[in-house]
Structure 1
Amino acid sequence: MGCKPFMVISSYNELFMVLSYNKPLMVLLSYNEPLMVLLSYNEPLMVLLSYNEPLMILLSYNEPLIVLLSYNEPLMILLSYNEPLMVLLSYNEPLMVLLSYNEPLMVLLSYNEPLIVLLSYNEPLMILLSYNEPLMILLSYNEPLMVLLSYNKSLVVLLFYNEPFIVLLSYNEPLIVLLYYNEPLMELLSYNESLMVLLSYNEFFMVLLSYDEPFMVLSYDEPFMVFLSYDEPFMVFLSYNEPFMVFLS
């Protein structure tokens, strides 16, 4: 049997059980038709595996590490916490969410048919992602920056705030939106049949290009603003530079 303080029990009669104990180690394996449970404890480590038809749960605890894996038909959740790292992976047929961040992080995942909510908080950063059939909301707050993206069937709203800059874009019908933010640069590209929107922000420069039969360009750079709108017989040019403004129709 090996070392003195070691014990193994094996029993099989439609029910199978193994119990192993050796000072810091205990393992329990029980199998009865659809159920299997594995419990392992070794000073800083505990593992629990439970399988019952469509459900599997794995819990592993080792001082800084906690892992929970739950699978029930279309849902799989993996939660891993290790001092500065937490990762949450949720997969349900067409949807997958992965979040990885450092140090003081809190993550909440709630799944109820079409709804998934992810909440992440880290000192200056808060992210909320909610998806329910036609609605998606992303809220990110980091000291001077706030971004809100909401999609509900025909509505898209983008709110970007960074000290001197606020932009709100709203449009209808089906729309594809790409948002990219990199310190001084933010770009929004949206294409819908005849509509294309490009928003670029770099330091004090912002450009908006929209095409849908009528054509519009808006450019703003500290003291200078240009607005061009074309719709068959009508064109407007507005230029403002500190003391000067021109309007052409």
Structure 2
Amino acid sequence: MDRATAPVVGRDVDAVLFDVGGVLTLPDPVAFEVALAPLGATGTLADRVRAHYVGMHAHATSARDGHEVWLDYIEAYLATAGVPEERRDEGRTAFGRVFGHHCWRFPIVETATAMERLGQGGTPLGIVSNATGQVEALIAHLGLCQVGPGGGVPVDVVVDSAVVGVEKPDPAIFAPALEAMAARGVDPVRIAYVGDSVRYDLAGARAAGLVPVLLDPYDLYDGVDLGPGASRIGSVHELLPPWAGPGAQAADAPGPEAD
């Protein structure tokens, strides 16, 4: 689906929920440089950032089932990070020693900036993530966001799959977030969910009745059918209305009478 069809806050949707991994944070490219450089990896920092999204594209298009789809993610990551083919076996081992919930600590500041601009205009925001119970503390520690006032962007709700006992693509994970959005007067059909996974994020959002949005910063899904109602963005800034763009002031946001 063409990026031009992506929803805009205030026109097509009234609230935005976000995944964390791949949207607010990435596997730490510095940690992976330490792990992979001894194997002759030639990739730059930018290559290792891109490697995550190349890996998620491989994950989305994998013919494997279950957790085995992550094998394709790893292969794509290693190739993009410049690990020589003859050292890929060692690369898989080195990758596995780092890849886990502790590695998702590299902040995507661009997303946080876009969230801040949305929040300044009064847009309800929230987080829904497949995680291991650490995500609320992590994003607060990184200064990205937290429920209520704090060092990051104030959001209405943070949902961690390990805390609620269900994970995407099961739509039940969205229930606490939808309750928080309902308290702000927002209907599910007017809520965008931004993620980087076709299998988990788009499928889960669609099943929950939300507007599925894939973050695709490298245009890897050009021409790929993402399923009914889904669209792609290269940056969360593409969701911003004119009143939330760079240099805009919160006072520029439309009031209720302009809805």
Report the TM-score, using the length of structure 1 for normalisation: 0.25
Question: Which structure features the higher share of helix residues?
Answer: 2
Instruction: Say which one has the larger Rg.
Output: 1
